[in-house]
Amino acid sequence: MSDKTAKLTFGDTELELPIYSPTAGPDVIDIRKLYAQGDVFTYDPGFTSTAACDSTITYIDGEKGELLHRGYPIDQLAEKSHYLEVCYLLLYGELPSAEQLEDFEYRVTNHTMLHEQMMNFFRGFRRDAHPMAVMTGVVGAMSAFYHDSTDIHDPWQREVASIRLIAKMPTIAAMAYKYTIGQPFVYPRNDLDYASNFLRMCFAVPAEDYEVNPILARAMDRIFTLHADHEQNASTSTVRLASSSGANPFACIAAGIACLWGPAHGGANQACLEMLNEIGTVDRIPEYIARAKDKNDPFRLMGFGHRVYKNFDPRAKVMKQSADEVLDLLGVDNKPILQVAKELEKQALSDPYFADKKLFPNVDFYSGIILEAMGFPTSMFTPIFALSRTVGWVSQWKEMIADPTMKIGRPRQLYKGETLRNYVDIEKR
């Protein structure tokens, strides 16, 4: 119940609407009975002022540059924890004990293999298919193979589906990559950690042994951790909307992957690398910085600033540390694009124009640099994002299914089409 109300007056109608106060963030006006009592809708394209659910998972304060998972700051989690521990936190609400974490890691590790018949799905795609197209199709097809975890009303089946999705997504992403480059699939190994397993499945070949460098594995794990969840963004809202119809979890996550594929959402680090390629050489950086300052020039520095964070991206500090470690390990001498990235970062951070406008390098800038240095093509950047975000989607899906107030999503509209008119026979048109 709410002890605060908001008065809404229009025409001769006056309504009192309940106001709810969250544990953090602005108050929320409850408009669920607005149509029934006032015969009006609200109009909010993009839902930027609308709370479609209540949640206990992730909180963002863009003005402060704050991102919390179950109350824990993301920079603390990225520095002191690792991805599967963060997965446990998102799924179950608390940090695990040593025994709980060991059990969770064991369950995930032992579900990383795919049903062997699913290999036929990969072979049905063209070799030049985008890995996101492959992932969308294969994840959706999981419902045809894992019938024992599609009943959303059974808590145990929801748990099994959650573990399967988190465990198998690296295998699916790596196989999508291997398929597009014409190399044989590499099966997961139970003696490797989550990030190391993914790197091995992407870069190992049968002709020789592959040893995962711990610095690269740590950087990969941080990329996973820093992209694990980000509140009610477009793909998460898509997963929730799909699940509100009662769709099986694999279909809902496939819908999230499809939404993430959009360049305005999951393609930011790819856009950053494309910008660095456009700049090309270090000597051209001043020209592009000048263009970025010119309001009449459409060019924008990709990977700087963030729509949500009005101050700084709290994930960027930790990602910068990993980027520096990776570049120190692998070097930049033979990769002009990485030389451009390092110098662009230096010049932008020392330029008062960008500091005044709070256009600092964000997580996409640094993650793009890391993935490029590791040898991933830009087509794999968004699949890796999808892999990372799976636990966030699954956590939000589980939360929504367990919510007794859940209803099927049904947004309203401001209709501007034709009013009622009669059909005209074709010979009279």
Q: Which residue has the tokens 């669920």?
A: 32
> Which residues have a Cβ under 8 Å from the Cβ of 54 and sit 6 or more positions away?
22, 403
Identified catalytic residue from 306, 328, 356, 403: 306
Backbone angles phi, psi at 375, to 5 degrees: 105, 10
Rounded distance between C-alpha atoms, residue 58 and residue 80, angstroms: 18
- The beta-carbon contacts of 197-206 under 8 Å, at least 24 apart in sequence, are 197/112, 197/170, 198/170, 198/173, 198/174, 198/387, 199/374, 201/170, 201/171, 201/174, 201/175, 202/174, 202/177, 202/178, 202/376, 202/380, 203/375
Is 69 one of the annotated active-site residues of the chain? no
Instruction: Report the first-to-last Cα separation within the chain, whole angstroms.
Output: 58
Indicate the residue type of 56: T
Rounded distance between C-alpha atoms, residue 7 and residue 19, angstroms: 10
Is 230 one of the annotated active-site residues of the chain? no
Helix (H) or strand (E) holding 41: none
Identified catalytic residue from 115, 364, 403, 425: 364
Instruction: Confirm if 364 and 268 have CB atoms less than 8 A apart.
Output: yes
Q: What secondary structure does DSSP assign to 288-333, as a single string?
A: HHHHHH-TTS----TTBS-SS-SS--TTHHHHHHHHHHHHHHH-ST
Residues annotated as catalytic are 306, 364
